[in-house]
Amino acid sequence: GAGVSQSPSNKVTEKGKDVELRCDPISGHTALYWYRQRLGQGLEFLIYFQGNSAPDKSGLPSDRFSAERTGESVSTLTIQRTQQEDSAVYLCASSQGVVVDTQYFGPGTRLTVL
Amino acid sequence: KQEVTQIPAALSVPEGENLVLNCSFTDSAIYNLQWFRQDPGKGLTSLLLIQSSQREQTSGRLNASLDKSSGRSTLYIAASQPGDSATYLCAVRSGTYKYIFGTGTRLKVLA
């Protein structure tokens, strides 16, 4: 079956521009996570969506970062006024829920801010 | 604040060798622990998930153990193969749905 997909796979942008990253979770998965992985570092939690509950935004590094999710489907991570330190791979994962929470990851979006 | 550490950061072994990867965490009040593998340019693949009430999980040549009291988990890989070459990450869930990841161990299995 289809796994988690992310688009674009690569994004190069200029400092100060806005970017939008997309995640399509596995159908039926109520939980969705966004992570950031800087070069040579571990995954950094950004935001979590669970069903129709209010998202946990506690990992978002600044107010330039925002994310939305439409119901239990696609999610979009938006970074406004990008900075060079935003360069990283942005990974999305989904799971069936909070109890059965084996996470399935997408291939990531590699963002480069020049 | 939960912190997760993985040692060693990198490891090279000849094909066929058995090996152990280590993961330690500072707060023993965890819900579960997952081991993932990450191939270059790709996302993560979940290998094993151990609930806090469990001591170990096995899948094929992989065995993961959990000792909550000492804040440690190990991933044992038997009869390593070149296809096992990847970065291995452990992640700890501490009560909430949030996972804290280690920085990983880069494994290279030499043919």
pLDDT digits (tens, 9 = 90+) for B14-60: 999 999 999 999 999 999 999 999 998 778 999 999 999 999 999 99
Ramachandran area for residue A42 (φ above 0: left; ψ -120 to 50: alpha; else beta): beta
B69-110 confidence digits (pLDDT tens): 999 999 999 999 999 999 999 999 976 778 899 999 999 999
In chain B, which residue's Cα lies nearest the Cα of A108?
B43
Count of pairs with CB atoms under 8 A, one residue in A, one in B: 55
d(CA B34, CA A55): 23
**Cis before A8 (ω within 30):** yes
- Residues in A touching B43 (Cβ below 8 Å): 4, 91, 93, 105-108
The predicted-structure confidence for A37-70, as pLDDT tens digits, reads as follows 998 788 999 999 988 888 888 889 999 999 999 8
Given an 8 Å threshold on Cβ–Cβ distance, is B103 in contact with A91? no
Residue B108 one-letter amino acid: K
Question: Which of A48, A91, A107 minimises the CB distance to B97?
Answer: A48
